[in-house]
Amino acid sequence: MGSRVEILNEGGFRSDGRRQYELREVTIDLSQQGQADGAAVITHGLTRVMVSVFGPREAKSRSQTIHDRANINVEVAISPFSAGERRKRSRGDKRILEMAATIKSTFEPVVQTTLYPRSQIDVFVQVLQQDGGLLQGCINATTLALVNAGIPLLDFVCAVSGGVYSTSPMLDLTLLEENDLPNLTVAVMPKTGKSTLVTMETRLHVDRFEEIFKLVCSASHALHQEMKDAVRVRTTSLVTAMGTTQSNVGGDTMMDES
């Protein structure tokens, strides 16, 4: 397979220094963003996505109201400076609408929407920087923002991309690799091992598909651990802050009584 760039060198290293099965470095920020009920910023290497969640709240219009469950509304915006192409994408852009629909369908079976009939959960996805693995970043940030908003999920949803170079499977592709290789993105619920999304924009031989699919599923467990750890740290800091506030209030009351 002729490639315009060296995807894997003789030493088995990729252009960013990783080996085939290595994931890029992940950073997670769950601090509060504005008025959102829950928010998350995640980076996979140089890809950076922010998601804000509002709700559950009253549906804005009758057409969006579902009488026995909540409606999940997803909007995606891509910053014009997020990629080298500097192309401004409007909200009506076909690719953006497809991505929003994909995120919505990925989470509909996972969010316990029946707990909130006739309401709406708004998910706003902002792509800040992109270097491959964009869909996985959007899905992982959405999971974390929903958890941060206290919305009950059946499980985490962890997404990882994979591809194949010649006969070598690879994980967590950069933009350079995505442009050159057959690839797919899989979103997995780690508890059950069920996948809520498998999407391919390129053709992939069926023999290779199974190999990459299994590899991506096992990699999602490593990602799940990082996401769980970030939620645990955030929860601990909130509980500590609440404890401090309560002890201060208690102290004030005692002072008033004395």
Residue 256: enclosing H or E segment and its boundaries? helix 206-257
d(C-alpha 214, C-alpha 160), whole Å: 11
pLDDT in tens, 208-246: 899 999 999 999 999 999 999 999 999 998 889 888 766
What are the chain's domains? 26-234 (3.30.230.70)
pLDDT in tens, 98-120: 999 999 999 999 999 999 999 99
Quick one: tokens of 183? 């690839």
Ranges 5-9, 25-29, 172-176, 227-231: which has the least confidence: 5-9
Torsions phi, psi for 123 (to 5 deg): -120, 115
pTM of the model: 0.90
d(C-alpha 228, C-alpha 230), whole Å: 5
Confidence label for 256 from pLDDT (cuts 50, 70 and 90): very low
Count of residues in the chain: 258
pLDDT in tens, 45-91: 999 999 999 999 998 888 888 999 999 999 999 988 776 555 555 55
Determine the 3-state secondary structure of 118 from DSSP.
Answer: coil
Q: Residue 171 forms beta bridges with which residues?
A: 162
How many CA atoms, within 13 angstroms, populate the side-chain half-sphere of residue 184? 24
